[in-house]
Structure 1
Amino acid sequence: MHFSVTSVMKAFAPGSVTAVFAPTESGDESRGASMAIEDGLVADVRAADRTDVVLDGERTEFEPVENLLDELGVTARVELDADVPIGCGFGASGAATLATALSANERYELGRSHDELVQLSHLAEVEAGTGLGDVFIQSAGGLLMDDGRGKRRWEPADIVEYVSYGGMSTSEALGDDELMSRVQTVGRRILTSFPENPSLERVTRDAWAFARELELPTSRVRDTVLEVEAEGGTASMAMLGETVFAVGIDGVLPNSTQISHEGAHLL
């Protein structure tokens, strides 16, 4: 098959932090409360005879990106530049896949719609076991909530601070039926308890209750949340990573970002 090829085209997708989630009955999607953040990932797709993925200068296996390119019917060299830690609860795999989709679509003039690219990215993530809906938040931007009664989106102006101590295996967690059953029960209860337009502080506080009830926080996460609370802020754990995000503080945690209102886009 012949594709026309444009000049080098990059795309950006924001990272995302999921505060609370609950898998749907089908298991291939998730409801929850999540935010897109301005720290994210850039993909630069270039024509190549075989598919290679390069992350921050190092060649790597990146299954959802490779799945996506296969579905689009192209081979390419994908150079990824990440501003967020990989595998630590920032939706980096979703951001990489979505940014790659936007870049490849433009690079090869594939003519796919934005919504179609988002859906293909989501399916590539589900197939790889790396996410259950991060790309929808990363496409829309803002703070997105879906409690089963319809999606709501708003644009908080809060500064979000964060620190990451490492990753957790998303694929292992999503494949743990007992854990996911508990997540579904607790997550649904928390999500339906939120008011119509909760503050980011309220979402974060209830997210911490969610994480603790599921016994997910490590000792480092717990200690950091206590440190934030001692400074008058509110903190919780990103799903799924050994990562703390917080609001209502200034300079307590080493990284600072804001809610990305724009969502994924070409550069």
Structure 2
Amino acid sequence: MKVSIFVPSNITGFFSIKEDENPLKKGSCGAGVLIDSGVKTIIQTLKKGDDENHQIQIRINGKKDPKNELITLKTIEILKPHIIKNSGKFELKDDLLINHEINVPVGSGFGTSASCSFGTAIGLSKIFNLNLSNNQAGQIAHLTEVELGSGLGDVLSQTSKGIMIRTSPGAPGIGKTNIIRDKNNFSDVLILTKTFGEIDTSSIIEDPKMKKNINKFGLIMQERIINNPTIENFMDCSYEFAKKTGLMNKELLKIVNELKKCTIGASMAMLGNTVFAIANKEDLGKIQKSDNLKAIDFKISKIYNDNIKID
């Protein structure tokens, strides 16, 4: 058996942290954009002899990666009680190979841990005939993220579409989102990204002083985007949040300021050492003429307005 799940990347522009004793209700509000680059998780059974021990093999882009397989292992751990409840025990009849094909930088503000966990939960539900809804699988992924400190709102965002506002925190089925719309769902605009390194998400969201600063400005931006839900305001709020919280370093700020001259808007992806901008196609020519930007190899994606894809 083989199942493939594509979960889009989520770029958060700004956020505020919502604590709760119930991890399903813990999360973040804010706003972000889904892009058509992300993670395809492929899970397949591998036949072996009946007398052999069966194992789960995890691969990241086809290779063993002990650091980045932790999110998948934690997802399996949280999912096990559901499998036991369904079949009476957790038993592998064949080897399982889980391969995450990731086409965005890891640890850089694209929500890859959420994409990997979400894809794993959906895929294993299919393999073990658990019949979990996407919201139920998303709750498992959200619990995984919260427990590992790797994210708070990406999973909820990935159940939405396009540019969205997380209006209430929590896992899918608990938290809520509103989609920022236009007449053609922004199908004619592009997302430009460039990553300059990783940021440890847990080191930010678990730091009391940083959390206080994030919440102060995140709540201000939340009110502004709700009152004026436009693509331009989303980028303006994202830029102001990144600057006022001090999360954006001088290197990123310099590039972002140049991008703002050529595009609809630019800022830093939360939480990653990544620049992102939203641009019209004609803006690409302006970037190529900019002495400060033309040498930068930006990745170009489109806004994702579809559902999670399962094959």
Question: TM-score scaled by structure 2?
Answer: 0.78
Work out which of the residue numbers 58, 66, 73 in structure 1 matches 2:73. Answer: 66
Q: Check 1:232–1:119 CA distance in 2 against 1; reply closer, same or farther (3 A cut).
A: closer
User: Equivalent pairs: percent with the same residue?
Assistant: 24
Work out which of the residue numbers 146, 152, 165 in structure 1 matches 2:178. Answer: 152
Q: Letter of the 2:55 partner, please give it.
A: R
- Secondary structure of 1:43's counterpart equals strand
1:112-170 CA deviation, whole Å, 9 max, x = no partner? Answer: 12211011110011111111020111122222213459631135412111111111000
Aligned to 1:250: 284
Shift in Å, 1:220: 2.1
Q: Letter of the 2:5 partner, please give it.
A: A
Aligned-partner Cα distance in 1 for 2:162–2:261: 28
Aligned to 1:165: 196
Q: Check 1:191–1:71 CA distance in 2 against 1; reply closer, same or farther (3 A cut).
A: same
Q: In the alignment, is the contact (CA less than 8 A) between 2:122 and 2:132 conserved in 1? A: no
Q: Letter of the 2:72 partner, please give it.
A: V
Work out which of the residue numbers 113, 121, 137 in structure 2 matches 1:117. Answer: 137
Work out which of the residue numbers 80, 85, 94 in structure 1 matches 2:105. Answer: 85
Shift in Å, 1:91: 0.3
- Secondary structure of 1:257's counterpart equals strand
For these two proteins, the number of residue pairs brought into alignment is 261
Q: Does 1:56 pair with 2:54?
A: no
Q: In the alignment, is the contact (CA less than 8 A) between 1:190 and 1:210 conserved in 2? A: yes
Q: Letter of the 1:41 partner, please give it.
A: V
Shift in Å, 1:209: 0.6
- Secondary structure of 1:236's counterpart equals strand
Aligned-partner Cα distance in 2 for 1:263–1:131: 21
Shift in Å, 1:10: 0.7
Q: In the alignment, is the contact (CA less than 8 A) between 2:263 and 2:278 conserved in 1? A: no
Shift in Å, 1:218: 1.8
Unaligned runs of at least 5 residues, structure 2: 47-53, 81-89, 170-175, 288-296
Q: In the alignment, is the contact (CA less than 8 A) between 1:147 and 1:192 conserved in 2? A: no
Aligned to 2:293: none
Aligned-partner Cα distance in 1 for 2:30–2:63: 33
Aligned-partner Cα distance in 1 for 2:103–2:199: 18
Which has the greater radius of gyration?
A: 2
- Secondary structure of 2:159's counterpart equals helix
Unaligned runs of at least 5 residues, structure 1: 1-6
Aligned-partner Cα distance in 1 for 2:34–2:72: 20
- Secondary structure of 1:88's counterpart equals coil
Aligned-partner Cα distance in 2 for 1:177–1:143: 29
Aligned-partner Cα distance in 1 for 2:61–2:19: 37
Aligned to 1:24: 18
